[in-house]
Amino acid sequence: MSVIFYTGFGMTSMLILIAAALITYLISYLLAISPGSRLYMIAGVLIDLALLGYFKYSGFVLDNINMVFRTDLLMEKVILPVGISFYTFSMIAYTVDRYRGDIEHKDILTYLAYILYFPKILQGPIALPTEMLPQFERLDNCRWDRDRFARGLTLFIIGLGKKVLLADTMALIVDYTFREAYYLDTICVIIAGVACAFNIYFDFSGYCDMAEGISVMLGIELPVNFDSPFKAGSVRELWQRWHVSLSRFLTRYVYIPLGGSRKGTVRTSINIMIVFFLSGLWHGAGYTFIVWGLLNGLMVVVDRYLPRVSRGLVLSIRTLLTFLYFAFTVLFFRAENMAYALAMVRRLFFFTWPGFVFRTAESLIIPETYLISEAVRFIAPSFETAIKVILMLLAFVISAFVIRGRNAREIASDKVFTTQRALALSLLFAFSLLSLSGVQSYVYFNF
């Protein structure tokens, strides 16, 4: 099923994935013959990193070589295989855990089930072999279970609603504002940052909810990837709740081997910045992603060593400031290049007001509000722009309400599946299906 699913994204991508998976499996076999061989482990990790580096970073590296040495080197455009950032990390985790002796050499089908498992292969979460392999070996999990299926279905429907109804609505604002970065006023830049933070969260966490929901229905438990990150009272806490599987991977395989927090304050700070530098670079081959990672790393360091600065504030204020800081950093994350990002940042420090908010509101063309817009245009055309601004504000209010409420896991964990919940989920599912005509590709497909 996983092979058929992934082949839908292109036979070439599938061949690359299978070849990389088999090479990693060969390294695992060699480690079974020569346990603890550091040479085999390093070779396996370097092969995976070379694969990721060629497809994801070769163009970025070549552009920088041309810029520094004023050359004009060219190469054919490399098409990025879908999910490569996620499955290469799974292979690295498998190789390193085999070297450490945390897992045994598995049969090829169990191993491939871990690498190719279709709910997680496109956008994660980055599951560790120690938590996934035992599940594929316990066939009793595959038996039908009504309560488990209901929990999985709940997760899937909530995730679908977050993606289709919230993420894609915010994407309209994000696409417009970042395209018009040079012309925005200060209020619009704030709107762009907040909308982008909502868009990325609902898009990625929505996917993870759906992936987890499908897995639960099949009797497989995926690791938590989002734990209500916008309820965090500090940037450090936010990153303990946001993209948890990536943070855990970098902590386990980079931060701790570098010494973690065991070698003094300066070394710990450097290790944190290295991890966030790699996190930014993992997200994309560009300086905007690197700056985004370093800005978050810097604030994690500050929060780690100056906790009293933030703890003196009320939790709700700390939560708001944490969210606004994250919204500020995503201006770099989403911007086309550094020039666009800096143009938007300048607006935050030099207030302007040419009234671009109204144009931004007009970009929010939602099929579900078509009848309302047409009725206002016919009855009171002078209020048309005002109604669109109100609808934009309503979208932000609904998004804020959702992130402050219980998350999908908490809702799905309720033991009692009532008639009212079944009705609400049915309506949400139907509404989401009707809105699929305006669906946009996932943000993390780019990575």
Provide the pLDDT for residue 372.
67
**pTM of the entire predicted model:** 0.92
What amino acid positions are annotated as catalytic residues?
A: 283
* Tokens read off for 226: 């989002």
Per 3-state DSSP, what percentage of the chain is helix, strand, and coil (rounded to 5)? 75, 0, 25
The Cα–Cα gap between 178 and 188 comes to 10
Low-confidence ranges of the chain (pLDDT < 50): none
* Tokens read off for 138: 């316990």
Q: What tens digit of pLDDT does each residue of 318-363 get?
A: 999 999 999 999 999 999 999 999 999 999 988 887 678 888 888 8
DSSP symbol at 81: P
The Cα–Cα gap between 27 and 31 comes to 6
The region, left, alpha or beta by phi > 0 then psi within -120 to 50, assigned to residue 47 is alpha
Burial 6-33 (b: 16+ CB within 10 A, else e): beebeeebbebbbebbebbbebbebbee
Asked if 135 contacts 161 with a C-beta cutoff of 8 angstroms, the reply is no
DSSP string computed for 191-219: HHHHHHHHHHHHHHHHHHHHHHHHHHHHT
Start-to-end Cα distance in the chain: 23
Provide the pLDDT for residue 414.
87
Distance of CA 445 to the CA centre of its chain: 9
Provide the pLDDT for residue 247.
95
DSSP string computed for 1-52: -HHHHHHTT-HHHHHHHHHHHHHHHHHHHHHHHSTT-HHHHHHHHHHHHHHH
Provide the pLDDT for residue 447.
61
**Polymer length of the chain:** 447
* Tokens read off for 111: 């191993």
Provide the pLDDT for residue 308.
58
* Tokens read off for 391: 């609808």
Residues 6+ apart with CB under 8 A from 403: 198, 201, 228, 230, 231
Asked if 136 contacts 2 with a C-beta cutoff of 8 angstroms, the reply is no
DSSP 3-state of 166: helix
Burial 249-260 (b: 16+ CB within 10 A, else e): bbeebebeebee
Number of alpha helices (DSSP H) and beta strands (DSSP E) in the chain? 22, 0
The Cα–Cα gap between 409 and 391 comes to 29
DSSP 3-state of 321: helix
| Site of tokens 């290049």 | 337
**H or E segment to which residue 151 belongs:** helix 146-161
DSSP 3-state of 409: helix
Q: Using only the alpha carbons of the chain, give its radius of gyration.
A: 23
DSSP 3-state of 295: helix
Burial 133-152 (b: 16+ CB within 10 A, else e): bebbeeeeeeeeeeebebbb
Peptide bond into 307 cis (omega under 30): no
The Cα–Cα gap between 364 and 30 comes to 56
The Cα–Cα gap between 263 and 265 comes to 7
Asked if 10 contacts 57 with a C-beta cutoff of 8 angstroms, the reply is no
